[in-house]
Amino acid sequence: MIETNSLGLFYKGEDGESVTVTVTAENTNFSVTYKLTGQDRAVLGEGETIDFSLDKDTTLQLRMTFDFINDGSGGRYTVNLEGGEGGEFTKFVKQFGNKPKIRTFTFNAD
């Protein structure tokens, strides 16, 4: 899997390639929800992973909402995206106030 833009929110991999997403929290209570194309919104438990496979006929979007539950500053989430055929990417979601942050990751396959 490779990143396909400079913002690091678009990825491309092989048809059928597995993708694993893990999230860790620093200086905040863990509170993450997500919605993957074609699925219902779900709560991601601390220590759980999001696993899916790429399909050349479908563009997948993974929309993640990160809540910050702390004194109002210093929180951060680390998001690791790993392709089964190679490629590992780390993204950070930093806290600015107590408002949730939303990130949408887009995946395509050849």
pLDDT, one tens digit for every residue, the chain (110 residues): 999 987 779 999 999 999 999 999 999 999 999 999 999 999 999 999 999 999 999 999 999 999 999 988 899 999 999 999 999 999 999 998 889 999 999 999 99
| pTM of the predicted structure, to 2 decimals | 0.93
Residue numbers of the domain that contains 55: 2-109
Cβ atoms of residues 55 and 15 within 8 Å: yes
Q: In the Cβ-directed half-sphere of 7, how many Cα atoms lie within 13 Å?
A: 6
Q: How many domains does the chain have?
A: 1
**Contacts within 8 Å (CB) and 24+ apart, 88-96:** 89/3, 89/8, 89/11, 91/8, 93/66, 95/27, 95/28, 95/68, 95/70
Q: How confident is the model at residue 18, as a pLDDT?
A: 98
